[in-house]
Chain A
Amino acid sequence: MITDALVLSAFLFVIGTFGVLVRRNAIIMFLCIELQLNAVNLTFVAFSQLHGIDGQIFVFFVMTVAAAEAAVGLAIIISIFRHYETVNVDNFKLLRW
Chain B
Amino acid sequence: MTTVLFYVFAAIAVGGAFGVVMSRSPVGSLLSMVGTLFSLAATFVLLEAHFLAAIQVIVYAGAIMVLFLFVIMLLNLGHDYQKDLKGGVFALVSFGTAGLMAGFLRYQLRGVGLAEGGAGGAAIDAAMAEHGVVGAIAEPLYTTYVVPFEMTGILLLVAIVGALVLAKKNVA
Q: Complex Cα distance A85/B101, Å?
A: 35
- Using known A-B contacts A35-B20, A45-B44, determine if residue A64 contacts B118 with beta carbons closer than 8 Å: no
- Using known A-B contacts A3-B114, A35-B17, A48-B49, determine if residue A25 contacts B80 with beta carbons closer than 8 Å: yes
B110 to chain A, nearest CB (A): 11
Q: Complex Cα distance A5/B77, Å?
A: 35
B51 to chain A, nearest CB (A): 7
How many chain B residues touch the partner (CB < 8 A)? 87
Chain B residues with CB under 8 A of A56: 49, 51-52, 124, 137
B interface secondary structure, majority: helix
Residue of chain A at shortest CB distance from B121: A49
Interface residue ranges, A against B (CB under 8 Å): 1-8, 10-19, 21-25, 27-28, 30-32, 34-35, 38, 41-42, 45-57, 59-61, 63-72, 74-79, 81-82, 87-88
Give 23 pairs: A residue, B residue, CB < 8 Å, sorted on A: A1-B47, A10-B102, A10-B109, A14-B105, A15-B17, A17-B97, A17-B98, A19-B21, A22-B91, A25-B26, A27-B72, A38-B60, A45-B44, A45-B52, A47-B120, A49-B48, A49-B121, A53-B127, A56-B51, A70-B67, A77-B71, A78-B167, A87-B77
